[in-house]
Chains A and B, each alone.
Chain A
Amino acid sequence: MSPIDPRLQEALDGERDPGTLPADLREAYDRLTGAAQLLAGAPRLSVSARVMAQIRKAPHPQPGESSTQRALRWLGRPRAVTVRLRPMWTLALAAGLTAVLLLPFQNGSTPQPGNAEGVAQFVGHFPGARSVEVVGSFNDWSRGMLHLNDDDGDGIWHGAAVLPAGQHEYMFVVDGERWVPDPLAGRYVDDGFGAGQQNSLLIVRPATAEP
């Protein structure tokens, strides 16, 4: 691949009248703009109905917050470094994790992973919360599909789900309105909205691959 004439680049960038190009460059100009025109055809799909059906079930977006509100929310949001360095929390979470691992499923509702599926365990410490649920790429970020439980009221919420093996992004939704990354996730990824927020990252291994 060799560099093309700067005059052609300028014409394609709208900085030069293509009518002033010599014949060979004009032909190349027409070839590239013709290709772009072919690619610009309107798609025949529509996702409008599907998207509107989903957002009618979604929580309503709230107007922007003031800088004070944002600061308060930032201060109130759990941070991994805080949770991990407090011995009391660590002990409580360890106890919760142990309980979940020993009694992962109850009341005969054991999820059974199929081929290329695995069981994902979710645990979070949210004292005083009225509800905690998990939304993520595996349920199209829809609420109401994966609720965590805190049957003994100790503030440790847990639950499990069968998910396709692979990588999933997720967040906790506390009391139906507060979106919180999992402090114990260990891995995070930018949420793609340009505000520096992060989603938690979960890697589910196929159950059949476990020893």
Chain B
Amino acid sequence: MVNDGAPDVEVVARVLGGDGEAFGILIRRYEPGLLRFATRMLGNPDAAADAVAESLVRAYRHLAQCRDPARLRSWLYRITGNRCRSHLARRHTNDIPLSEAPAPALADNTDAWATLERSEQMALVERALSALPAEKREAFVLKHVEGMSYEEMAAVTGARIPTLKMRVHRAREALLVALEEVVR
């Protein structure tokens, strides 16, 4: 029996050894980040859930192909990023329709005014993010929302580090303009 705090390498070995239920540990560990990433990329929580579910099933099926289980997180984000790109390509646009922008996540806060203000800020930030081209949006989210290093971002996206830095810098510039006077 492998415990929930076991390193990825140990859990992967357990799954490959025949304990399919141990894959649930990896799901619980990475699902929140993958869903957040896919939601920011697709702008639609339902589409994001589909993309993440499909990615996790594919990851399970191809788990033996994960050449470095110590970097499982990067591998899972890479699969999910690919599914998101496929989804966006099918929509023939990298922009998220505003009508699909996720509803603002209301904080659990008894101060209704603060909650409303935060909700409005959230909607504006999401709208600004959705206006970015997909590559810049992905770079910004991986760097500043998921907190990845440029090295890990390179493993996830397959892009070179200077390219990723340029995308992040351009995304920051565009967001700063869009968020003028919005988030203080």
A interface, CB within 8 angstroms of B? 1-4, 8-9, 12-13, 27-28, 30-36, 38-48, 50-52, 54-56, 58-65, 137, 140-141, 166-167, 191-195
A–B complex contacts, Cβ < 8 Å, 7 sampled: A51-B57, A55-B57, A58-B61, A61-B61, A65-B64, A191-B62, A193-B62
Report which of B57, B105, B122, B177 forms a contact with A140, defined as CB distance below 8 A. B57
Supply 8 further A-B pairs (C-beta < 8 A) apart from A4-B176, A35-B179, A36-B140. Answer: A32-B183, A33-B144, A38-B121, A40-B145, A43-B32, A47-B56, A61-B60, A140-B54
Number of residues in B with C-beta < 8 Å to the partner? 66
Complex interface: chain B residues within 8 A of A167 (CB): 90
Q: Would you call B115 an interface residue if the criterion is a C-beta within 8 Å of the partner chain's C-beta atoms?
A: no
Contact across chains for B105 and A61 when beta carbons are under 8 A apart: no
Contact across chains for B31 and A52 when beta carbons are under 8 A apart: no
Contact across chains for B145 and A39 when beta carbons are under 8 A apart: yes
Most buried by A among B31, B35, B172, B177: B172
State the 3 A-B residue pairs at the shortest beta-carbon distance, nearest first: A192-B82, A36-B144, A43-B35
B interface, CB within 8 angstroms of A? 15-18, 20-21, 23-24, 27-28, 31-32, 35-36, 39-40, 45, 48-49, 52-54, 56-58, 60-65, 67, 75, 78-79, 82-83, 86, 90, 105, 118, 121-122, 125-126, 128-129, 140-141, 144-145, 158, 165, 168-170, 172-177, 179, 182-184
Contact across chains for A54 and B57 when beta carbons are under 8 A apart: yes
Q: Give chain A nearest CB distance to B162 CB in angstroms.
A: 13
Q: Give chain A nearest CB distance to B113 CB in angstroms.
A: 17
Contact across chains for B176 and A28 when beta carbons are under 8 A apart: yes
Contact status of A9 and B169, CB under 8 A, knowing A31-B182, A61-B64: yes
Contact across chains for B49 and A36 when beta carbons are under 8 A apart: no
